[in-house]
Amino acid sequence: MSPRSGGPPRPELPTSVFGPSGTRIVWGLIDPTRPISTVPLKVARRIGILSESEDDAIDRLEAEIDVEILIGERPIRWSVPVVFDATEEEVRWGLVGFLDLFDVLLRGPIGSFSIELSGELPPARLPRLR
């Protein structure tokens, strides 16, 4: 759980997001109320999904990106559908392609959560650069 918001702990997960021009680490809120994951549009530009010169009139974009999380010491990487949205201020990991692949247990009273892989992951699309 992350107290980054200044309030009570929230179920946030550091996640690497991969694009054609780079990787960024973002903190994403585990949000089972979202059917699909949403990511601020500025992240799409930072990882090369959109170029800096593309039309600023774009305010929403559906895409598939590679993400990676650590479970214990093990990196787990897969491809997940997301909506890049200019109105979003934070990353929110939703059900389709993210939370539907894991067992997540929130322990609100002690401010923690656990996450475990529950099945097969869709393959990552970009080659590993490390």
Higher-pLDDT residue of 5, 30: 30
Average pLDDT of the chain is 87
State residue 93's pLDDT score: 97
Q: What percent of the chain has pLDDT over 90?
A: 58
State residue 112's pLDDT score: 82
pLDDT tens digits, one per residue of 26-70: 999 999 999 999 999 999 989 999 876 666 778 899 999 999 999
Strand partners, 10: 2
Confidence check: pLDDT of 74 > 70: yes
Q: Residue 120: pLDDT band by 50, 70, 90 thresholds? A: confident
State residue 130's pLDDT score: 42
